[in-house]
Chain A
């Protein structure tokens, strides 16, 4: 399992998960993502600090 995290234009994060036979078995130990209060605070304050989605994020 591999994952790729992007930040949408409104500051929310989105994580894509992809799988293939080689990485699936190691899925449970692959993540290095942490969500700490400081990290979330920094992201909210400076949304441009992380890669931006170029597409319009749409609506729910």
Chain B
């Protein structure tokens, strides 16, 4: 059907919700349980996933291709990024300085992974909460280096390129301008470099997008101020999420950047998207028949209403060293 599916049967055996004393992402304490991370402490760690969906040197496909069913080795990289040595923390609970450090690590991993010849797209993401299906509670995210540009990104690329061809303008820049126009009813928060909003076309009730004000394509384009502003905006949104229902808010967080296949993607615009599964404190937004079978999302809410809820929960981000943003 024009899309690749990775089969990784070894992942059935991966660690599933271990007790805190046996968390594989905690530091290895002297005399203690040997975790994935062989040191007693760390700031942030990146490592290759023990149960990867894609590997730099994949085995030959387990089945043979046919004319109808092409197969290819699952080449790529799957990294785990551990945000903090504190098992009980979350990204929302981390100080903004730590989130700024994470932004720098993301940038460094993007730069390192894009140098692999086979890496055509670097996908940085976090699945948070059992509602999303996480298997480890320790605060962490992941990075996949795909050997092709994945389909959702392809759709965004096609739409942004078509808009550029038709108008001479960036689609995301136009969306941001539209969101800021008038009363900004869908805006959740803004700072000098980023805006957070629930887009007009949100598929999930609390689907926040964070877009850079400046037209840039990837984390590697951020200057120092923009890196700090991105950390502050992430802290702002994540803190508002946690206050919404007074619980640690589950979400998928994905970074959308330009591909790394050497093409010219000057028309594309870096942004971050959150897909929270909750529509109320106790009810999930299920991807049911229409969403899964037809790709047609049905949102039971209005973006303007949900943005107002989150906007009311926004508080200034305080930097311990260097003022507030």
Q: Tell me the chain B residues, 129-143 only, with Cβ under 8 Å from chain A.
A: 136
Contact of A54 among B14, B38, B107, B136 (CB under 8 A): B38
B104 A28 Cβ-Cβ under 8 A:
yes
Given contacts A55-B28, A59-B36, A60-B136, contact A33 B108 (CB under 8 A): yes
Given contacts A17-B101, A21-B321, contact A59 B116 (CB under 8 A): no
Number of A-B contacts (CB under 8 A): 122
Q: How far is the CA of A6 from the CA of B117 in the complex (A)?
A: 22
Given contacts A1-B104, A8-B47, A58-B35, contact A35 B28 (CB under 8 A): no
Given contacts A28-B227, A40-B57, contact A12 B111 (CB under 8 A): no
Q: How far is the CA of A21 from the CA of B105 in the complex (A)?
A: 15
Q: Tell me the chain A residues, 15-55 only, with Cβ under 8 Å from chain B.
A: 15-19, 21, 24-25, 27-28, 30-31, 33-37, 40-41, 44, 53-55
Task: Summarize A's interface: helix, strand, loop or mixed.
Answer: loop
Given contacts A28-B224, A31-B111, contact A37 B34 (CB under 8 A): no
Answer yes or no: B297 CB below 8 A from chain A CBs: no
**Residues of chain A lying within 8 A (CB to CB) of residue B115:** 34-36
A16 B39 Cβ-Cβ under 8 A:
yes
The size of the chain A interface, using a CB distance under 8 A, is 36
Q: How far is the CA of A18 from the CA of B47 in the complex (A)?
A: 15
Answer yes or no: B46 CB below 8 A from chain A CBs: yes
Residue of B nearest to A37 (CB): B117
Residue of B nearest to A9 (CB): B38
Q: Tell me the chain B residues, 187-246 only, with Cβ under 8 Å from chain A.
A: 220, 222, 224, 227
Answer yes or no: B112 CB below 8 A from chain A CBs: yes
Given contacts A15-B45, A35-B115, contact A59 B15 (CB under 8 A): yes
Answer yes or no: B278 CB below 8 A from chain A CBs: no
The 9 residue pairs across chains A and B that have the minimum distance between CB atoms = A55-B38, A14-B47, A27-B104, A12-B48, A40-B56, A56-B34, A34-B115, A58-B34, A58-B35
Q: List residues of chain A with CB under 8 Å of any chain B CB.
A: 1, 3, 6, 8, 10, 12-19, 21, 24-25, 27-28, 30-31, 33-37, 40-41, 44, 53-60
